[in-house]
Amino acid sequence: MGLAWLLMIVIAIVSFIVQGRFKSKFNEYAQMPLLSGLSGQDVAERMLRDNGIYDVKVISVEGQLTDHYNPEDKTVNLSPDVFYSRSVASAAVAAHECGHAVQHAKAYSWLSMRTAMVPVINVASTLTQWTLFIGVMLLFFMHNPFVLAIGVAALALVTTFSFITLPVEFDASNRAIAWLNNNYSVMQTNQEHTQAKDALWWAAMTYVVAALSALATLLYYASFLFNRRN
């Protein structure tokens, strides 16, 4: 348990640093206007058209960093800071979310797997909220590992989902970067391309540390369970 606990602390520190770095990069590149003058909405709609996708809508949703692609209703949802902004950051984020739309249109296997898991993960996430704490109490006071075992199993599913998310996010960024590199009417300078790539790389790192954090938490509770049972 000691090693797992230490790992959780280290990853928490790294996560804090990565999140801070990502927000700093996003804010920096959000101040860099695109020479093309295109908004995030413009970039998204252009990328969809270039990939032959005409049944996906680009809409604005409230909040910050709430950008996502919804495969159920086929919408690219962009936060106001991305939808209306005409910056390097907004173009990068818009292209990334459209990368998910392209994955959906091409039946990208990792996205299909991730989407299929969502209903199960919603249940598993709810289970972990109460089974882990109650399970530890029951194990400690009554030597009953059953509830904690359920929590660990649910947490294992959530952790698996976190790692399946990684190739989905990296691939979407790669599709975005490749499209931006081939469309100088969107990004017209090497500096803009470099900044967009940097922003997407730091965004991807937030998913990496989230997956590692989930793994560390899983190892902690699993070691707690098996150590108490032995």
Active site residue 97: yes
The DSSP H or E segment spanning 70 is: strand 68-70
CA 148 to chain centre: 28
Angstrom distance (rounded) from CA 141 to CA 214: 26
Pairwise CA distance, residues 59 & 83, whole Å: 8
Q: What is the DSSP letter of 182?
A: T
Please give the biggest Cα pair distance in the chain.
Answer: 67
The count of other CB atoms within 10 Å of the CB of residue 227 is 9
Alpha-carbon span 48 to 83, nearest angstrom: 15
Q: How many whole angstroms from its chain centre is CA 152?
A: 23
Distance (Å, whole) CA 157 – CA 163? 10
What does the alpha-carbon distance between residue 36 and residue 11 come to, in Å, rounded to a whole number? 40
> Among residues 45, 72, 97, 169, which one is catalytic?
97
**78 contacts 62 by C-beta, under 8 angstroms:** no
Catalytic site positions: 97
